[in-house]
Structure 1
Amino acid sequence: MTASTLTPRAAAPEPARTVPARRRGRKPKQLGRTISASTLLWIMALAYGFPLLWFVLSSFKPAGDLFSFPLTLLPKSWTVQGYVDAWSSFNFYQFFANTFLVAIVTTVLTVIASCCTGYALAKYDNRWLKVLFIGILATTMLPTEVMLAPTFLVVRDLGMYNSLAGIIVPSILTATGVLMFRAFFLTVPDDLVEAARIDGARELAIFFRIMVPISRPIMLTLAIFSFQWRWNDYIWPLLVLNDPTKFTLQIGIQSIVGAQNINWSVLLGASVISIIPLVLLYLVFQKYVMNANINAGLKD
């Protein structure tokens, strides 16, 4: 044997793996889509947030600086006199208390009534319940203005005119709340209800111990919506209330607008005060709604 035959043969290099062109071009495309979506969201946030920022900062400006030229975003001299005048000079605390009472009571009753009605419509087979569901569904097809006159006549005949009860009672049962709970309870397996009945649970126990706890995300969502609706309601309280001591917040803010002139500093301060409870409500309950597992306890 010669030396050349004893020399070990060098290992042949493995062929380089080529990345398909489709896979190489996928990452830049995804990155470009993400950047485009983020840019669009930032543009929308600025479009909605800038007027709100201007509105809040303008409430800290003196009345004489609101229409000064050139317009400035930040106040030249900060003042809270508009807030003080709004709270003390126009019985604003009374408007605030009336609105808070109406919103809290209506929200609690709306959640209870919607939960009970939605469960009955979803889990009981009765032709009268179907008729009730069609009637509730039909109310969503009519403009609110169409139902104002007959609702007002009923409230007047029941003796609830010029009272907070006249605002609360017609607003308890909402089609939106009933449809939300009905749609949720339809997703709950009937086997869960039948198993509870076999174990000897009564209908009220099934509702309060099983259905109510698992519907907590829907309850919180409807509570936020209902509180917001009642807090911002203007047309119906304007029709029902006649006593200034019973005015709600939105009617109170409208009363600040005079026939000849408008105190813009007070009006802006009152408007900012009116949105504070809604912001606090969102900050407190938003995490519960977003983090809640709607399908908890419904796995087979």
Structure 2
Amino acid sequence: MTGQWVSTTGRAPSVGTIVRTTVLIVGAIIVIAPLVWAGLSSFKSQAELAAQPPTLYPHAATFDNYRTGLAAFDFGRYLLNSTIVTVAATLLTLLINAMAAYALAKYNFRGRDLLFLITLSTIMIPLQVILLPVYQVVSALGMTNSLLGLIIPPAATPTGVFLLRQYMLSLPDETIEAARIDGAGEFAIFWRIVLPLCRPALAVLAIFSIIWRWNDFLWPLIVAQDESKQTLPVAIARFAGQQAIPFPHILAVSVVSIIPVIVVFLILQRQIISGLVSGAVR
């Protein structure tokens, strides 16, 4: 069918399909455009970046922004802090949320549904409401100005509990009962049977947690007042607020800071899509 838009099924797509596809493409362009501009502008000079009208591509690309910006920024120390906080908090989030979700999905006890409802209702509470009490607890435990103060408080998330619980509800109870009959302990069932079956959902929660922890700004700003304990978002904001800092250097540092999240997403992409699709089917 020459000159006609034909789908893979051999039939012309409907108007609804064309509209949805167009909306998704436009939305993707709107989301990606600022990232593309930031990446290209990080190779521009200060004069070219301030030129009017602005240009998309750098006329004379240079890596000096990266070399100078990373050297003046002490990027390695803040990258290490963010990596430690993100990895440790993500592993702790997966473990705590998976245990809570398993109990709420596969154990029958009085008040289970009420407990899940209370847990789920905390999603509607803004962070600013609980910020002061959480900080007081962290301060009383002596975890201010420490990486533990950044790792432990956000470890348990109601979103993660909800996501994993809904996935675990689809797991057959017969498999767990058969393991108990064979003499497997509860921890062995959870570790060797439940967690491997929940790998797609865990991958989705992992990428969510990595994005949350890596980009978190408000909590590290309050807890990590010592510069040596600050993470990348806080350090970049402080770096941008200094006097006479060329904007291309800030762009270069910002572009480098988002590369780890992109790499993690590409690695977990197949598991994430599998988890989202299977969750939608269920």
| TM beyond 0.5 | yes
Which consecutive residues of structure 1, in runs of 5 or more, have no partner in the other structure?
1-25, 296-300
Q: Quote the Cα distance in structure 2 between the aligned partners of 1:253 and 1:161.
A: 20
Distance 1:39 1:115, change over 3 A: same
Q: Quote the Cα distance in structure 2 between the aligned partners of 1:40 and 1:293.
A: 21
Distance 1:294 1:213, change over 3 A: farther
Tell me if 1:155 matches 2:138: yes
User: Match for 1:55 among 26, 31, 38?
Assistant: 38
Contact 2:203 2:275 in 1 (8 A): no
Distance 1:294 1:196, change over 3 A: farther
Partner amino acid, structure 2, of 1:98: N
Instruction: Name the counterpart of 2:220.
Output: 237
Contact 2:204 2:275 in 1 (8 A): no
Matches within 5 A, 1:117-196: 117-127=100-110, 129-130=112-113, 132-196=115-179
Contact 2:204 2:272 in 1 (8 A): yes
How far off is 1:202 after superposition?
2.1
Q: Quote the Cα distance in structure 1 between the aligned partners of 2:104 and 2:16.
A: 44
How far off is 1:208 after superposition?
1.7
Contact 1:109 1:172 in 2 (8 A): yes
Tell me if 1:211 matches 2:189: no
| Per-residue CA distance 1:44-72 (angstroms, 9 max, x = gap) | 23222222211110010011211112211
Partner amino acid, structure 2, of 1:86: G
Tell me if 1:227 matches 2:186: no
User: Match for 2:47 among 64, 73, 83?
Assistant: 64
User: Match for 1:109 among 78, 83, 92?
Assistant: 92
- Give the 3-state SS of the residue equivalent to 1:72 in structure 2: coil
Q: Quote the Cα distance in structure 2 between the aligned partners of 1:33 and 1:121.
A: 40
Partner amino acid, structure 2, of 1:200: G
Contact 1:103 1:230 in 2 (8 A): yes
Larger radius of gyration: 1
Q: Quote the Cα distance in structure 1 between the aligned partners of 2:24 and 2:129.
A: 38
Computed over aligned residues only, the root mean square deviation of the Cα atoms, in angstroms, reads: 2.1
Contact 1:215 1:294 in 2 (8 A): no
How far off is 1:291 after superposition?
4.4
Instruction: Name the counterpart of 1:278.
Output: 261
How far off is 1:191 after superposition?
2.3
Q: Quote the Cα distance in structure 2 between the aligned partners of 1:208 and 1:293.
A: 22
Q: Quote the Cα distance in structure 2 between the aligned partners of 1:138 and 1:74.
A: 47
Q: Quote the Cα distance in structure 2 between the aligned partners of 1:172 and 1:103.
A: 10
Q: Percent identity?
A: 41
| Per-residue CA distance 1:112-139 (angstroms, 9 max, x = gap) | 1111110011111223655543442232
Total equivalences in the alignment: 269
Distance 1:248 1:128, change over 3 A: same
Q: Quote the Cα distance in structure 2 between the aligned partners of 1:131 and 1:154.
A: 26
Distance 1:68 1:217, change over 3 A: same
Partner amino acid, structure 1, of 2:105: A
- Give the 3-state SS of the residue equivalent to 1:79 in structure 2: coil
How far off is 1:257 after superposition?
1.9
Q: Quote the Cα distance in structure 2 between the aligned partners of 1:105 and 1:259.
A: 31
How far off is 1:99 after superposition?
0.2
- Give the 3-state SS of the residue equivalent to 1:170 in structure 2: coil
Partner amino acid, structure 1, of 2:34: P
Matches within 5 A, 1:4-23: none
Distance 1:85 1:137, change over 3 A: same
Matches within 5 A, 1:259-274: 260-274=243-257
Partner amino acid, structure 1, of 2:48: D
Contact 2:200 2:274 in 1 (8 A): no
Which consecutive residues of structure 2, in runs of 5 or more, have no partner in the other structure?
1-9
